[in-house]
Amino acid sequence: MIDPKIALVMARPRPEINADHDMPLLLRALSEAGADAISAEWDDPGVDWSEFDLAVIRSTWDYTWRKPEFLDWVDRCSRATRLANPPEVVRWSSDKSYLGTLAAAGVPVVRTRYLAPGDPADLPDDHEYVLKPVIGAGARYAARYRPEQHDEAHDQVARMHAEGLTAILQPYMSGIDATGERALVFVRGQFLHAIRKNAVLSPDVPFDQRKVAHPGLQPWSPTAADLAVAERALATVPGSSDLLYARVDLVDNADGTPLVMELELVEPNLFLAAHPGSMSTVVQAITTAAAAAAAQRGTRRHAEDDRAVHERR
Positions annotated as catalytic residues are: 210, 247, 264
DSSP state of 187: E
The answer to whether 183 and 197 are in contact (CB under 8 A) is: yes
Could you tell me which residues come within 8 angstroms of residue 313 by beta carbon, excluding any fewer than 6 positions away?
none
- Sign for the CA dihedral angle at 213, 201, 180, 238 comes to negative
| Cα–Cα distance for residue pair 57/255, rounded to 1 Å | 36
Hey, is 243 helix, strand or coil? coil
Q: Which segments of 169-278 does DSSP mark as H helices, in order? A: 176-179, 224-236
CB atoms within 10 A of CB 294: 21
